[in-house]
Chains A and B, each alone.
Chain A
Amino acid sequence: MEPRAGFDIGGTFTDIIVAAPDGRFLTYKILSIPTGIGENVGRCIADALDKSGATQLSALVHGTTVGTNALLEGKGAKAGLLTTQGFRDALEMRRLSLAGARDYYWERSAPLIPRRRRQEVAERIATDGTVITPLDKDATRAALLLLKQRGIASLAICFVNSYVNPVHEREAAEIARELLPGLPISVSHEIMPAFREYERTSTTAVNAYLMPVVARYLDSLESELHKFCPTMRIMQSNGGVVASSHARVRPIFTVESGPAAGVLAATALTRAAKIDRAVSFDMGGTTVKACLIEDSAPIEKAEVEVGGEANSGARWFRGKGYTLAAPSLDIVEAGAGGGSIAHVDANGTLRVGPTSAGAVPGPVCYGGGGTDPTVTDANVVLGYLNPTAIAGGTVPIDRPAAIAALEKVLCPPLGLSALDAAYGIHQVANAAMMRTVRAVTTERGRNPREYTLIAFGGAGPIHAAALAENLGISRVYVPQYPGLFSALGLLLADLRYDYVQSVPSRLDAMNLDEIAQRREDLLRRAHDEVASEGVDIAKLSLQWFADLRYERQTTETKIDLPDVAPEKLAEVLAAKFHEEHEKLYSYRCPDEPITLVNLRLKATAPARSASFEQMGEAFLRSAKEEQLVEGVRDAYFGVERGLLRTRILRRAHLLSRSVEGPMIIEEFDTTVVVPPGWRASLDDLGNVVLQTG
């Protein structure tokens, strides 16, 4: 087998992991300096190929935050919207929603496509698909020319009721292709063939907004990396991977790509280590992210709002940010990472973040020109991070500079010593992280005490035990390669495609021929797409679902589509639906007609090229050979516990024994802090397991 590579570009670092044919993993961590990122990744891959005696990769998988960043920073394309007359402002008004605000001075984010680039044309389709007003083609041309004049780089088309009958959207797209050749076009019925005009318009607009940005980004990456592997795959928000060509036309499916990869790796870990309930805790340079994993599956959601309310009730309320309907892992994020800058606010309170020092200039201790003290600087001052170099000696650390920065910026207004100020930063950062973990546990009625924390990301294992202590969590896993865990997740993911086809009809009046036809269409799409990726169709596994509801309801319940004779379908579906409805909502309505709304197909094909078992074996092999030298340095654990002589170990030190904290485990890609009161051991997959109590 040829080597496989995964690379995850985050806010501060880019992580690269290459699985070599001999079972070894070669890892790289480089700063995410935007210019020349493809070239830098290429250099690392070339080095890995060189070391493993190969010339080509058999798989190249990428996790990215380009979509989220463009949305949050307002750096997407200058997009235009063509819509039905009378609906020009739907995108801006967002169903008149206040998102639960209780603030007289409330504000929502600016529309992705401002009014000047939203144009409407006469056309109207009725709810049953009949054409009421034919598309005014002259007006369409005029509107498109106006949009062209206003400099659009991407176009969204969304007409009312197009999910029932897309004829006008097709016609308009045709005209647009003629008039504006080469312009990326996002058409609503292709992107989200489901009802509710605002949600569909918004999803289409987000897609249009991101298409040029994502395409440009992938072009530049692939021009550098093509030589190693002809096809690059991208992690999607749902935790599956697809060909980059797919991500170019459907960027909405990759908006949460980077975060999903880490959760996917954590999920694979819960499966391998048999952990029922876990919270994945990912702390990088700029953010922390948490996701709930139960019974080896991360919690998913069908709709995401980027830049929405972070307050309680966030799942219930929409309307502040940008809604997009794309299956995604339910990840909560906050702006507190290793690079988050600490400052003293007007009230004299110590605050951390949301501003980050990023890759450039970076934390003070990296010596890249940063002058504002960050969480990482605090961790260096506290003795948690190695005072001379991290990342296997490749990133030198300047501890005196970090102390000087703290003494200059924070110590005078706080009236604290550098050590105590640093411990304050550590604690405030922990409090911000606690909110994200709470958002996925207590806020969802789960008691964090019953969960295992899976800590990763470059900074996660530094904070994990202290955070767990605050939350009453008594077990923390630190997997291998925690600092490159998202990159690792890329090698653990399978191909996944989600298809949906609207087939609205009453269950007792289903057109079985039509259903069979639609299923065949979906299946062909899946086959084509998978074949185009060079994957054997025989390896495809298919899961069919039907979305059903009682006729007068508006929310569907997803049911596994049973494999039964066509004439039995209605009866079996009805029985399953009544049962599921009763299970979910404690009642059924046997007399009410049931409507079949959508057919869904989830197609997956194996693409994973690593496993925890294999990594565990590789670790045991190498650990036995490792020359182990134990170190010691002072680390500070707050006023009560003070400055303690702390053992500095390697992961391999824990082989077949349990060690009591305080202790620090130093690794290439992260540092694990084990405070007093905790003990560390290893499981047979090579994971560090921290326990207390």
Chain B
Amino acid sequence: MSSNFDPVMIELMRHEFIALSEEMNMAMRQTARSIIAKESSELSAALLTPRGEVIGQAMIYGLGYFTAVMPYLLKKFEGQFKPGDVYLTNDPYGGASHLPDIVLIRPLFWKGELCGFAAVVEHHTDIGGRYPGGMGSGSTDIYHEGLRLPAVKFYENDKPIEAVRQIIAANVRTPDDVLGDLDAAVAACRRGERGFNRLLEKHGRAAIENCYQNLYAHAAEAMRGVLRMIPDGTYRAENDWNDGAGVAVKLVLTLTAKDGEAILDFTGTGAQVPKAYNVPPDMLEHIISGYFFYFLGEADVPINSGLYAPVKVITPKGSVFNPNFPASVGGRGTMIWPTVELFYRVLSMAMPERMAAGNEGGSSSITFSTIMPDGRVAMITDIYGSCWGGRPMKDGMEGVMPLVLNQYLSSPTEAFEREVPIRLEGCGFVPDTGGPGKYRGGLSVYRSYRFLADGDLIFRTIKVGTVPQGSTGGRNGTPADFYLIRDGKRLDMDRIAVNEIKVKAGDVLFHVPHGAGGFGNPFERDPEKVLADVLDEKITPEYAEREYGVSVHIESETINLARTRMLRDDAAKAKSAAA
């Protein structure tokens, strides 16, 4: 803690920073043009110190992007920043993620002095390259993947640099979306600037810097609190991952926890691959340490770079987690999800009583693009989640995003079918999926899209060939399924992580993701919960008997107690006999 500790001022400032970044998010979303920004909120805004640390954010999402990009920007432009400048970068070899994620940064000045930055990151609809949306798996180097913006100046004297706009417009499939969203991001940064200046005017630089130091320390301490939940020790796990199409990588993680500090060491992980699954060099560090944040719970903790302080990440050079230039990275999400799973597995070894059973494995997505009669490209990237594994004391969530996408909203069909020839025909729970457990895994949430024009479809799913694991006596989850329906007939799709196919007008993509794993012995599940699931048609009565040993009488909405006792006793006897 700093010597000038003024708890009221610090608390006030914490809320000011949150309110400001929230206002920036709002301005961004309200004026954006792409569906993924204006409906799904795949974006985040922040205020940063002149050193590039995040001061405060309304949401955790995006924290790592800013933290990773800023050192490169500072190195390149240190001393050259001017009021009215705006910079862009999406360079995976300059701290950024894959190319569609553009970080826009505006230096902020007060009394002629650089006093910080306002920044926005957004996942854009398109960035050019061989695959619409920039996330195809087949690219073998970064040059396939679209337009790379290696930290360039985008505005000067508060005017856009037309040449840069023209280069972007000429290289992306949806210039209206991308440039419209960048305009919105500039507007958001100006909002941030206005508010930040107001704060400086009122309190002065020193007071704000002092508050920031305190808030940074507070965040770091909160994270140490989380890390102290992990018993001191070293835990190691592996994950043999393959994409179903010939690419296999061994992922290795060793976690060393000691008194509120953690080292995540990926030494032993396989070499980079000649497909787009490589994770950009600086990204994994910020993404994977961020997974500890989800144990902060409801506590009102300041969101800033201090959260990263107690965690160290080691990624071997030349591995999929730290590839050499010019490896392709567009489909890095495909690799990150199994890494997250590996991370959870390691934590399960360290604190099994706190960890959930396996989840669906990560978010899936479709990117659909088509050329409209007027020659314009209409495109959508729709990302969606399904379910979580059963948790200690609680069922897994169902009909929900994975935790890391906690800012995300699925796009309403009423919003996207106005703009793109595609229709959501349905989305909902699939009965009898998910793993039974005392706390059951979430049900699979199916999605069915009908395409109304010929076009290109990139369909990314997760966890090919495995199912989410049950935990502590809970059963495994259920397998995924996906196919195309053309002229009323089912067309199978390759069981691979990323399908890149042509679709025809009238085709339907049907996807049933994995159901999540259960936690604890299903025969110990509260029969009332089983009854409720049957009445809600989330599970069938037959399934209830078979998987839970609970017999239900639907008409009277009651449990058949005698039969339930019998079923459960039999199961117990069989179990003790087996033992």
Residues of A within 8 A of B (CB): 85-90, 92-108, 114-116, 126-127, 160-161, 163, 195-199, 311-313, 315-319, 438, 442-445, 447, 472, 550, 552-555, 581, 584-587, 589, 592
Known A93-B400, A115-B538, A442-B12; contact A102-B297, beta-carbon cutoff 8 A: yes
Known A-B contacts: A93-B410, A313-B18. Give 16 more (CB < 8 A): A87-B426, A87-B428, A96-B384, A96-B445, A97-B400, A97-B401, A97-B410, A99-B406, A103-B297, A114-B536, A127-B417, A161-B414, A442-B16, A445-B16, A554-B39, A585-B30
Chain B residues closer than 8 Å to A552, beta-carbon distance: 33, 176-177, 180, 419
Smallest CB–CB gap between A150 and chain B, Å?
Answer: 9
Judge if B458 is at the interface, Cβ distance under 8 Å. Answer: no
B412 and A197 within 8 A (CB):
yes
Smallest CB–CB gap between A145 and chain B, Å?
Answer: 15
Known A105-B297, A196-B414, A313-B58; contact A93-B38, beta-carbon cutoff 8 A: no
- Closest residue of chain B to A441 (Cβ to Cβ) is B15
Within 8 A of A (CB), among B161-219: 176-177, 180, 183-184, 186-187, 190-191, 195, 198, 202
Which of these, B19, B293, B394, contacts A102 with CB under 8 Å? B293
**A161 and B537 alpha carbons, distance in the complex (Å):** 26
Which of these, A93, A197, A555, A587, contacts B414 with CB under 8 Å? A197
Which of these, B294, B409, B413, contacts A97 with CB under 8 Å? B409
Chain A residues closer than 8 Å to B247, beta-carbon distance: none
Judge if B324 is at the interface, Cβ distance under 8 Å. Answer: no
Smallest CB–CB gap between B68 and chain A, Å?
Answer: 20
Chain A residues closer than 8 Å to B403, beta-carbon distance: 98, 101-102, 104, 106
Smallest CB–CB gap between A686 and chain B, Å?
Answer: 33
Of the A-B pairs whose beta carbons lie under 8 Å apart in the complex, a sample of 6, sorted by A's number, is A98-B403, A103-B298, A445-B19, A552-B33, A552-B177, A585-B27
A104 and B399 within 8 A (CB):
no
* 8 nearest A-B residue pairs (beta carbon): A86-B426, A93-B399, A89-B428, A115-B536, A554-B38, A555-B30, A552-B33, A98-B406
B16 and A86 within 8 A (CB):
no
Smallest CB–CB gap between A450 and chain B, Å?
Answer: 10
B183 and A95 within 8 A (CB):
no
Within 8 A of A (CB), among B415-457: 415, 417-419, 423-429, 445, 448
- Closest residue of chain A to B355 (Cβ to Cβ) is A104
Which of these, A116, A163, A587, A592, contacts B537 with CB under 8 Å? A116
**A195 and B419 alpha carbons, distance in the complex (Å):** 13
Chain B residues closer than 8 Å to A315, beta-carbon distance: 22, 26
Which of these, A92, A445, A587, contacts B23 with CB under 8 Å? A445
- Closest residue of chain A to B30 (Cβ to Cβ) is A555
**A661 and B473 alpha carbons, distance in the complex (Å):** 67
A587 and B59 within 8 A (CB):
no
Chain A binding surface, main DSSP class: loop
Smallest CB–CB gap between A527 and chain B, Å?
Answer: 32
B293 and A89 within 8 A (CB):
no
**A592 and B183 alpha carbons, distance in the complex (Å):** 13
**A87 and B413 alpha carbons, distance in the complex (Å):** 10
**A554 and B181 alpha carbons, distance in the complex (Å):** 12
Chain A residues closer than 8 Å to B20, beta-carbon distance: 445
Judge if B98 is at the interface, Cβ distance under 8 Å. Answer: no
**A552 and B33 alpha carbons, distance in the complex (Å):** 5
The contact string, 1 if C-beta is below 8 Å from chain A, for chain B 34-56, is: 01001100000000000000000
B405 and A444 within 8 A (CB):
no
The contact string, 1 if C-beta is below 8 Å from chain A, for chain B 6-32, is: 001001100110111011011101111
Judge if B257 is at the interface, Cβ distance under 8 Å. Answer: no
B15 and A443 within 8 A (CB):
yes
Smallest CB–CB gap between A429 and chain B, Å?
Answer: 18
Chain B residues closer than 8 Å to A581, beta-carbon distance: 31
Chain A residues closer than 8 Å to B391, beta-carbon distance: 104-105
Known A89-B428, A96-B399, A116-B537; contact A104-B30, beta-carbon cutoff 8 A: no
Which of these, A93, A312, A442, A447, contacts B445 with CB under 8 Å? A93
Chain B residues closer than 8 Å to A198, beta-carbon distance: 412
B31 and A555 within 8 A (CB):
yes
Chain A residues closer than 8 Å to B147, beta-carbon distance: none
Smallest CB–CB gap between A611 and chain B, Å?
Answer: 35
A311 and B300 within 8 A (CB):
yes
**A550 and B177 alpha carbons, distance in the complex (Å):** 12
Interface centre among A89, A92, A104, A311 (most CB of B within 10 A): A104
Known A96-B385, A103-B297; contact A195-B195, beta-carbon cutoff 8 A: no
B427 and A95 within 8 A (CB):
no
Smallest CB–CB gap between B120 and chain A, Å?
Answer: 13
Judge if B88 is at the interface, Cβ distance under 8 Å. Answer: no
Count B interface residues, CB 8 Å. Answer: 83
Which of these, A86, A95, A97, contacts B428 with CB under 8 Å? A86
Smallest CB–CB gap between B448 and chain A, Å?
Answer: 7
**A104 and B412 alpha carbons, distance in the complex (Å):** 26
Chain A residues closer than 8 Å to B65, beta-carbon distance: none
Chain A residues closer than 8 Å to B408, beta-carbon distance: 96-98
B183 and A102 within 8 A (CB):
no
**A581 and B30 alpha carbons, distance in the complex (Å):** 11
A115 and B537 within 8 A (CB):
yes
Judge if B350 is at the interface, Cβ distance under 8 Å. Answer: no
Which of these, A103, A163, A195, A472, contacts B294 with CB under 8 Å? A103
Judge if B472 is at the interface, Cβ distance under 8 Å. Answer: no
**A428 and B307 alpha carbons, distance in the complex (Å):** 29
Judge if B397 is at the interface, Cβ distance under 8 Å. Answer: yes
Known A96-B384, A197-B412, A585-B30; contact A102-B187, beta-carbon cutoff 8 A: no
Known A197-B412, A472-B8, A555-B31; contact A586-B187, beta-carbon cutoff 8 A: yes
Chain A residues closer than 8 Å to B448, beta-carbon distance: 86
**A587 and B405 alpha carbons, distance in the complex (Å):** 30
Which of these, A106, A196, A443, contacts B412 with CB under 8 Å? A196
B294 and A115 within 8 A (CB):
no
Smallest CB–CB gap between A528 and chain B, Å?
Answer: 30
A101 and B406 within 8 A (CB):
yes
A587 and B294 within 8 A (CB):
no
**A691 and B418 alpha carbons, distance in the complex (Å):** 57
A127 and B298 within 8 A (CB):
no
B401 and A96 within 8 A (CB):
yes
A160 and B413 within 8 A (CB):
yes
Smallest CB–CB gap between B360 and chain A, Å?
Answer: 12
Chain A residues closer than 8 Å to B187, beta-carbon distance: 585-587
Smallest CB–CB gap between B496 and chain A, Å?
Answer: 25
Judge if B279 is at the interface, Cβ distance under 8 Å. Answer: no
B429 and A115 within 8 A (CB):
yes
Judge if B356 is at the interface, Cβ distance under 8 Å. Answer: yes
Which of these, B29, B202, B405, contacts A447 with CB under 8 Å? B202
**A103 and B535 alpha carbons, distance in the complex (Å):** 29
Chain A residues closer than 8 Å to B38, beta-carbon distance: 553-555
- Closest residue of chain A to B425 (Cβ to Cβ) is A86
Known A95-B409, A105-B394; contact A312-B33, beta-carbon cutoff 8 A: no
A102 and B60 within 8 A (CB):
yes
B424 and A102 within 8 A (CB):
no
**A101 and B397 alpha carbons, distance in the complex (Å):** 13
Judge if B296 is at the interface, Cβ distance under 8 Å. Answer: yes
Smallest CB–CB gap between A87 and chain B, Å?
Answer: 7
Judge if B242 is at the interface, Cβ distance under 8 Å. Answer: no
Interface centre among A88, A100, A101 (most CB of B within 10 A): A101
The contact string, 1 if C-beta is below 8 Å from chain A, for chain B 92-126, is: 00000000000000000000000000000000000
Chain A residues closer than 8 Å to B405, beta-carbon distance: 98
Chain A residues closer than 8 Å to B39, beta-carbon distance: 554
Which of these, A316, A445, A554, contacts B25 with CB under 8 Å? A316
A316 and B414 within 8 A (CB):
no
A88 and B415 within 8 A (CB):
no
**A90 and B399 alpha carbons, distance in the complex (Å):** 9
**A443 and B31 alpha carbons, distance in the complex (Å):** 23
Known A87-B428, A312-B18, A553-B38; contact A587-B293, beta-carbon cutoff 8 A: no
A438 and B15 within 8 A (CB):
yes
Known A86-B428, A472-B8; contact A587-B536, beta-carbon cutoff 8 A: no
**A554 and B411 alpha carbons, distance in the complex (Å):** 11
